[in-house]
Amino acid sequence: MLGAAALTLSSCQPKDPYLGKTSIDSVVQAMTLEEKAALVVGMGMEGSTDGQTATVGSTKNLVPGAAGTTRPLERLGVTPVVLADGPAGLRIDPTREGDPATYYCTHFPIGTLLASTWNPDLIEQVGQSMGQEVKEYGADVLLAPALNIHRNPLNGRNFEYYSEDPVVSGKTAAAYVRGVQSNDVGTSIKHFAFNNQETNRTGVDAVISPRAIREIYLKGFEITVKESDPWTVMTSYNKINGTYTSQEKDLVTTILRDEWGFGGLVMTDWYGGDNAAEQIAAGNDLMEPGTDLQYKQIVDAVKAGKLSEKDLDACVRRVLELVVRTPRFKGYAYSNKPDLKAHAEVTRTSALEGMVLLKNEGGTLPLKGVKNVAVFGNTSYDFIAGGTGSGNVNRAYTVSLIEGLRNGGFTVDDSRGKAVLNYMADEAGKERAKLDPSLAAFLPIPRPAELLPTPAELSGILAKNDVAIITIGRTSGEFFDRTSPDFNLNPSERKLLTMVTDAFHKAGKKVIVVLNVGGVVETSSWKGQPDAILLAWQAGQEGGNSVTDILSGKKSPSGKLTMTFPVNLMDAASSENFPIDLDVPLSFMNRRTPSGEKDVDICKYEEGIYVGYRWFDKQNMEVSYPFGYGLSYTAFEYSEPKVALEGNTVKASVTVKNIGEVPGKEVVQLYVSAPEGTLDKPVRELRAYAKTSELPAGQAERVELSFKVEDLASFDEAQSAWVVDAGTYDIQFASSSRDIRQRASLDVKGSKKKVANVLNIK
- DSSP class of residue 213? I
Asked if 85 touches ligand BGC (CB under 6 A), the answer is: yes
- Which of 300, 251, 294, 290 has its CA nearest to residue 276? 294
**Rg (the chain; Cα; Å):** 26
- Which of 67, 81, 227, 245 has its CA nearest to residue 148? 245
Give Cβ neighbours of residue 43 (< 8 Å, ≥ 6 apart).
59, 68, 69, 70, 71, 80, 289, 290
**Count of chain residues binding ligand BGC (CB under 6 A):** 10
CB 104 within 8 A of CB 395: yes
In the bound complex, what is the minimum distance in angstroms from residue 177's beta carbon to ligand BGC?
15
Tell me whether residue 196 or residue 390 sits nearer to ligand BGC (CB atom): 390
- Which of 262, 259, 254, 260 has its CA nearest to residue 281? 254
Q: Which of 44, 51, 80, 86 binds ligand BGC (CB under 6 A)?
A: 86
Catalytic residue among 140, 250, 269, 382: 269
Give Cβ neighbours of residue 566 (< 8 Å, ≥ 6 apart).
153, 520, 524, 572, 616, 621, 623, 624
Specify burial of residue 644 (Cβ count, 10 A radius: 0-12, 13-18, 19+).
exposed
Bridge-partner residues for 142, per DSSP? 84, 187
Asked if 578 touches ligand BGC (CB under 6 A), the answer is: no
Tell me whether residue 75 or residue 591 sits nearer to ligand BGC (CB atom): 591
CA quadruple 195, 198, 202, 205: dihedral, nearest 10: -60
Q: How far apart are CA 596 and CA 477, in angstroms?
A: 26
In the bound complex, what is the minimum distance in angstroms from residue 290's beta carbon to ligand BGC?
12
In the bound complex, what is the minimum distance in angstroms from residue 119's beta carbon to ligand BGC?
25
Tell me whether residue 238 or residue 378 sits nearer to ligand BGC (CB atom): 238
Asked if 278 touches ligand BGC (CB under 6 A), the answer is: no
DSSP three-state, residue 751: strand
In the bound complex, what is the minimum distance in angstroms from residue 442's beta carbon to ligand BGC?
9
User: What part of residues 471-510 is at the interface with ligand BGC (CB under 6 A)?
Assistant: 478
Tell me whether residue 59 or residue 183 sits nearer to ligand BGC (CB atom): 59
In the bound complex, what is the minimum distance in angstroms from residue 157's beta carbon to ligand BGC?
8
Tell me whether residue 478 or residue 685 sits nearer to ligand BGC (CB atom): 478
Strands 636-646 and 667-673: unpaired
CB 629 within 8 A of CB 685: no
Tell me whether residue 56 or residue 282 sits nearer to ligand BGC (CB atom): 56
In the bound complex, what is the minimum distance in angstroms from residue 82's beta carbon to ligand BGC?
12
Tell me whether residue 58 or residue 714 sits nearer to ligand BGC (CB atom): 58
In the bound complex, what is the minimum distance in angstroms from residue 86's beta carbon to ligand BGC?
6
User: What part of residues 353-392 is at the interface with ligand BGC (CB under 6 A)?
Assistant: 390
User: What part of residues 142-161 is at the interface with ligand BGC (CB under 6 A)?
Assistant: 143
In the bound complex, what is the minimum distance in angstroms from residue 234's beta carbon to ligand BGC?
6
Angle between helices 340-353 and 120-136 (to 10 degrees): 150
Tell me whether residue 92 or residue 609 sits nearer to ligand BGC (CB atom): 92
Asked if 270 touches ligand BGC (CB under 6 A), the answer is: yes
Q: How far apart are CA 359 and CA 341, in angstroms?
A: 33
In the bound complex, what is the minimum distance in angstroms from residue 411's beta carbon to ligand BGC?
42
- Which of 548, 389, 397, 552 has its CA nearest to residue 475? 389
Q: Which of 198, 215, 269, 725 binds ligand BGC (CB under 6 A)?
A: 269
CA atoms within 13 A on the CB side of 540: 32
In the bound complex, what is the minimum distance in angstroms from residue 482's beta carbon to ligand BGC?
17
In the bound complex, what is the minimum distance in angstroms from residue 65's beta carbon to ligand BGC?
10
Q: How far apart are CA 122 and CA 130, in angstroms?
A: 13
CB 185 within 8 A of CB 131: yes
CB 469 within 8 A of CB 372: no
Q: How far apart are CA 64 and CA 340, in angstroms?
A: 19
Question: Could you write out the three-class secondary structure of 239-279?
Answer: EECCEEHHHCHHHHHHHHHHHCCCCCEEECCCCCCCCHHHH
Tell me whether residue 42 or residue 473 sits nearer to ligand BGC (CB atom): 42
Tell me whether residue 147 or residue 218 sits nearer to ligand BGC (CB atom): 147
DSSP three-state, residue 446: coil
Asked if 286 touches ligand BGC (CB under 6 A), the answer is: no
In the bound complex, what is the minimum distance in angstroms from residue 154's beta carbon to ligand BGC?
17
User: What part of residues 114-143 is at the interface with ligand BGC (CB under 6 A)?
Assistant: 143
Q: Side chain identity at 548, as an amino acid letter?
A: T
User: What part of residues 49-78 is at the interface with ligand BGC (CB under 6 A)?
Assistant: 56, 67
Q: How far apart are CA 466 and CA 468, in angstroms?
A: 7
Give Cβ neighbours of residue 527 (< 8 Å, ≥ 6 apart).
358, 359, 533, 624
Tell me whether residue 269 or residue 571 sits nearer to ligand BGC (CB atom): 269
User: What part of residues 408-467 is at the interface with ligand BGC (CB under 6 A)?
Assistant: none
CB 637 within 8 A of CB 651: no
Asked if 190 touches ligand BGC (CB under 6 A), the answer is: yes
Tell me whether residue 253 or residue 390 sits nearer to ligand BGC (CB atom): 390
Asked if 716 touches ligand BGC (CB under 6 A), the answer is: no
269 a catalytic residue: yes
Give Cβ neighbours of residue 98 (< 8 Å, ≥ 6 apart).
none
Q: How far apart are CA 355 and CA 149, in angstroms?
A: 20
Bridge-partner residues for 736, per DSSP? 739
Q: How far apart are CA 260 and CA 273, in angstroms?
A: 23
Segment (H or E) for 455: helix 455-464
Bridge-partner residues for 703, per DSSP? 654
List residues binding ligand BGC (CB under 6 A).
56, 67, 85-86, 143, 190, 269-270, 390, 478
Q: Which residues are catalytic?
A: 269
